Each structure stands twice: as C-alpha cells, then as structure tokens.
Chains A and B, each alone.
Chain A
Amino acid sequence: QVQLQESGPGVVKPSETLSLTCSVSGYSISSGYFWGWIRQSPGKGLEWIATLYHSGSTNYSPSLKSRVTISLDTSRNQFSLEMKSVTAADTGVYYCAREWAGGYSDFWGQGTLVTVSS
C-alpha cells in the first residue's frame, strides 16, 4: 500500500520561502507515476500546484509557476515543494499525492497546515 507523508514548518513568515517534503513508502518513486502537490484553503478551495514525473519533468500551475519549484530525491524516495515570497494567501493545508498520467490523484498524504504569519 502506497503511503505519503508531508513534512515542513507549520508557520512561515511573509516574503520568506516555504519548503515542504513528501516521504513516500510502499512504492519507489523512481519506478513511475506522477507525483504532485495540491493545497486547500477556505478562500480558494482545492488548488493544484505542481506535478513531477519520475523522470524529472515538471508541470506547474500557471498562477504559481513563477514562485514554485518541485523536485525529486530518489535516494530518499521523497519529493519536495519550494514556494518563494509567500503571503497570507498561501496559508492552507498542503497535500502531496500520487497522480495518474491523466491528472487525478489516487493516493494522498494526510496534509500539513501551513500558516503564513509574522
């Protein structure tokens, strides 16, 4: 059974960089599938952020592309998200997920709450 677990700081100051990691167990991410980040906030609902293929190719939401980087660490079976210049609008629950090529997510992490506040 594939399991995903997000980790990262619960609080980030405005204008700083948010860094999150997703640890995957039960499947080697270098073997295939797509891996992505999705967030949820009361104001914007569920919002797709970025997706990474096991080969390293990436796809970003146009609205976040200038601030976001998704990357792979196959040696640790993890993938990560960096988001620069955060504001209060970036507050929410961040989920990592396994995605099928078509773009839907079949396995999700439990989510991690990120609050942007000074």
Chain B
Amino acid sequence: EIVLTQSPGTLSLSPGERATLSCRASQSVSSYLAWYKQKPGQAPRLLIYGASSRATGIPPRFSGSGSGTDFTLTISRLEPEDFAVYYCQQYGISPRTFGQGTKVEFK
C-alpha cells in the first residue's frame, strides 16, 4: 500500500505567518490527494481534493499543489482557528491511505 510521509511533524508559528506543509507518497498517486484539518475532539474536515481544489466553504488562504509523489498544503496567513493537525490522504491507489499528520501549533 502507498505510504504517505508528512513533514514536519510539528510546525510552530504565529498568527499571520505562512504555513507550508509537505506530503510525500511512496509512489505516484497522480493528483488523487486530499488534505484534512482536525481539531481536538472533532472529526477531520475536508480542505482540498484533487491536490489543488478547495472544498466547499474553505477560505482561499488554503491552497494545495503538487502531483505524482510530492504535495504541499499552504496556509497563506494563519488565523487562530487554523492551529490544528493536518492530514493528507491519497485515493489514487487502493487501499486509500492517510499520512501521520502535521501539527500546526502556536509559537
């Protein structure tokens, strides 16, 4: 199965700063990659699908890029509600798999 490796494990930033999160796949998944945000005690929330398409209601400060094996989620200016754990998920090759997560925490 495809292994997704997210880096860094933790990102310590301040509100207003730019966050850049990475997700690397063990083999090509084309553009079949999604990003989710999860806050404590809540279910994951879909942010991005198809590597770069924003889900309904997701603000434009969230953007996704990449294809093949290397993907990036960028949050242009962090808002207080953006401090959370972010997961990537591939659905190009069955079984679909998730990365281990990147925690964005207050610096």
A92 CB–B CB distance under 8 Å: no
Contacts A45-B98, A45-B100; is A104 near B43 (CB within 8 Å)?
no
Q: Is the interface of B mostly helix, strand, loop or mixed?
A: loop
Task: State whether A104 and B45 are in contact (beta carbons under 8 Å apart), knowing that A45-B100, A45-B101, A48-B95 are contacts in the complex.
Answer: no
Shortest B22–chain A CB gap in Å is 17
Tell me which residues from 97 to 118 in chain A have a Cβ below 8 Å from any Cβ of chain B. 97, 100, 102-106, 108-111
Interface residues of B in 48-62 (CB under 8 A from A): 49-50, 55-56
Q: Chain B residues near A100 (CB, 8 Å)?
A: 49
Give the Cβ gap from A118 to chain B, nearest Cβ, in Å: 27
A88 interfacial contact with B, CB 8 Å? no
- A104 / chain B contacts, CB cutoff of 8 Å: 34, 46, 49, 89, 91, 96
Contacts of B100 in A (CB 8 A): 45
Q: Would you call B43 and A95 a contact (CB within 8 A)?
A: yes
CB pair A47 B98 closer than 8 Å: yes
- Residues from chain A with a CB closer than 8 A to the CB of B49 are 100, 102, 104, 106
Chain B residue at minimal CB-CB distance from A51: B96
Contact assessment for A108 and B98 in the assembled complex, using a CB-CB cutoff below 8 Å:
no
Give the nearest-CB partner of A46 in chain B: B98
Cross-interface CB contact of A61 among B42, B56, B87, B95, cutoff 8 Å: B95
Among A45, A103, A108, contact of B43 (Cβ-Cβ < 8 Å): A108
Asked if A59 is an interface residue, CB under 8 A from chain B, the answer is: yes
A62 CB–B CB distance under 8 Å? yes
Find out whether the CB atom of B55 lies under 8 angstroms from the CB atom of A46: no
The contact sample of 29 A-B pairs, CB cut-off 8 A, is A45-B87, A45-B98, A45-B99, A45-B100, A46-B44, A46-B87, A48-B96, A48-B97, A48-B98, A59-B94, A61-B95, A62-B1, A62-B95, A95-B44, A97-B43, A102-B49, A103-B32, A103-B96, A104-B34, A104-B46, A104-B91, A106-B46, A106-B56, A108-B43, A108-B44, A108-B45, A109-B43, A110-B42, A110-B43
Residues of A at the B interface (CB closer than 8 Å) are 45-48, 59, 61-63, 95, 97, 100, 102-106, 108-111
